[in-house]
Chain A
Amino acid sequence: MKTTFENLYDNYHQDLFQFVFYMVKDIQQTEDIVQDVYIKVLHSYDNFKGDSTEKTWLFSIARHVTFDHFRKLKRKRNKFLEFFNWSEDGEQLRSSQFEPEEYLLLDDQMKQIYHCLEQCSDDQKQVIILRYIQDFNINETTEILGWSTSKVKTTQHRALKILQQCVKTSEREEDDYGEV
């Protein structure tokens, strides 16, 4: 088991960590999710048939585990809302918008993009992360998501539109603020 883990870690760990981080934007949660991904992968490694590459297989598992995490978070939030009926506070349970050290080095445009990613749906966000931040090509992305090529392309197109729109709006707001 250790050898399998070491191979996976050496080859993909930082990419995996980055993917999950951009999905959840919380270091602690990322660490937990990545551990769960390894546990799942190590459990089912013998069943890996090699239909896809090891990397896309690993990322498709990471994606499932991350979505499971979202679902659990959602259930927790619903229970919290039912119990306390503090709708506004409850909403804040999810995206904590953690800003890593690297964030401080970004210019204004990049910071806007970083925050605007949250305007995308989870599906759109994962396509953007896989395609541009992780640099997967269309075929690899379809393998990871189990989607058709056209669906990946459509989702990517919509996500880019949302990002453009969000950046434009943030820019306008900053300009207005500057004028006042």
Chain B
Amino acid sequence: MVKFKNNEEHLKKQLQKMPKVADGRSKDEVYQLIKNKLNHSENIAIKKRRNKWIPTIASACAIVILFIIVLSQENFSNQFDQSSSNKEDTAMDSAEMENFDQSNEATVTGENSDQTLNDLDDNETVEEESISALDQTYNYLLNRKLVDSVVRTAFVTEQAQYIVPLTLTNTADKDYSTNIDLLNTHINLQKNGLYDIGISDMEFETEDNIVHVRFKDSFQLESSGSNVSNFEKVLSFMFRPLEIRNVNFEDNHPIVEQIGGNTDNYSLPDISQIPYKYFQMENNTMKWLVAITNNQYKTLSSALKEMKENEANNQVSASIPTDANLKVEDMSEDHVFISVSSSQIANNQLTVFMIEAILATANSYGYQQVTFDIGVEQVGRYDLTKPLKTTNQINVIDFNK
């Protein structure tokens, strides 16, 4: 065998001569395959939507039966014991609520839920119980009241497409690393499609409007274009809501150069004007509000329109029904009126999610309050006869519970 000329130049020339591997398929063949794949993913999305009706109908039937049973039991007990206490009634209502809880997509008529609310409205204690019962009925991703001191973090979605900001509430310990460790023990992040871009390998210390960042030895971030951009966004989602605009990197790491900063001072990009949709890795994993950051939406109307779009390839689903008609009107500088009409809107889990996605989105456009007109007056714990406060405390994980 001819002795291999062991030098770099020769190796480079040999590499340049590596065989050209060609695709044997024709242009039309490739196009057809792509088209089929695109149609297939759209069909899956449609099928999923169609399949949703089966559990909905089954749940509705179950609720009707339960309602009849509860009513007949009530009549039965009234015949023999006229003096049953209010407490027992409340317990029965709670039982009814728990039954609704088992069917996420269940539809409750406005009348019934109003009745339930009125029954529980006798005194303050009972009112608290009613709110807590409503809280158990549906899943909520926003804080009911703004919590002063929270720890914020953010992750990228499975395909590094979008950002999922998280709000961690823990009155016992506000240390960042402790809460991140706690989060890891509570939730299997990877299974839920959340990827840490490296923040668990960083240390943060906030001081006035600046955050000091240190990279641990374990910090590793492949320097691709999307990683660099996501790294910036993650930091922004963590600190811009806390009114922190500047970062002081205490270690010199190549990523600092790549985001165009210097170690002393780096200004975090703005994270305003963002539509929120839903991200769910698989059917049995947690649902998250996801920030759609790949495009610019200059007006709230354009953001709401975007929220009607499903993105099956990215496991992202619309947060507003795709058939909805939307109307947006400014009532004042920080108060907006939003009307949504769709046959899918009712007192159900999907509508709770829609309201929360709109509140988070409106907040990113600087609005403090939203007046809803969606054809329903009460959805879960949201009383839509009054304006609702917007919030940036989303995807709340409460360690106090």
Contacts and interface: CB of A to CB of B under 8 A. Distances in A.
A5 B37 CA distance: 14
Contact of A135 (B16, B27, B37, B254): B16
A138 to B, nearest CB: 13
Interface string B217-234: 000001111111000000
B22 A146 contact: no
Interface in B242-265: 254, 257-258
A148 B20 CA distance: 28
B22 A17 contact: yes
Interface stretch (B2-10, B47-55, B104-112, B317-325): B2-10
A43 B313 CA distance: 10
A114 B15 CA distance: 9
A128 B21 contact: no
B257 to A, nearest CB: 7
Interface residues of B, number: 41
A178 B6 CA distance: 20
A13 B23 CA distance: 8
Contacts of A163: 11, 15
A147 B223 contact: yes
B394 to A, nearest CB: 25
A64 B224 contact: yes
Contacts of B12: 132, 160
Contact of A146 (B17, B19, B227): B227
Nearest to A44: B294
Of the four ranges (under 10, 10 to 19, 20 to 34, 35 or more), the interface on chain A belongs to 35 or more
Contacts of A35: 30, 33-34, 37
B15 A9 contact: no
Contacts of B118: none
A163 B11 CA distance: 8
A133 interface: yes
Interface in A117-133: 123, 128, 132-133
B25 A148 contact: no
B226 A64 contact: yes
Given A123-B222, A148-B223, A174 B16 contact: no
A9 B30 contact: yes
A34 B37 CA distance: 12
Interface in B51-86: none
A9 B27 contact: yes
Q: Which of A14, A18, A146 has the most CB of B within 10 A?
A: A146
B399 interface: no
Nearest to B19: A102
A46 B19 CA distance: 34
Nearest to B24: A27
B343 interface: no
Contact of A167 (B6, B16, B17, B30): B6
Nearest to A51: B225
A64 B161 CA distance: 11
Contact of A145 (B3, B19, B224, B257): B224
Contact of B25 (A31, A42, A60, A100): A31
Given A14-B23, A39-B37, A151-B223, A160 B18 contact: no
Interface in A31-74: 31, 34-36, 38-39, 42-44, 47, 60, 63-64, 68
A178 B31 CA distance: 50
A118 to B, nearest CB: 14
Interface in A72-128: 100, 102-103, 105-106, 108-110, 112-114, 123, 128
Contact of B18 (A36, A39, A110, A123): A110
B255 to A, nearest CB: 10
Interface string A1-25: 0100110011001100110011000
Interface in B276-313: 294-295, 313
B172 interface: no
A139 to B, nearest CB: 14
A108 B15 contact: no
Nearest to A144: B225
Which of A102, A112, A175 neighbours the largest number of chain B CB atoms within 10 Å of its CB? A102
Contacts of A6: 27, 31
Nearest to B23: A17
A22 B21 contact: yes
A102 B21 contact: yes
B390 to A, nearest CB: 28
Contacts of A146: 223-228, 258
Given A6-B27, A13-B23, 17 more contacts: A5-B34, A10-B27, A17-B23, A18-B22, A22-B18, A35-B30, A35-B33, A64-B224, A108-B1, A123-B222, A132-B18, A133-B15, A146-B223, A146-B225, A147-B258, A167-B4, A167-B6
20 contacts: A2-B31, A14-B20, A17-B23, A21-B21, A30-B23, A38-B30, A39-B38, A39-B313, A47-B294, A103-B19, A110-B14, A123-B222, A132-B15, A133-B18, A146-B224, A146-B227, A160-B8, A167-B6, A168-B6, A178-B1
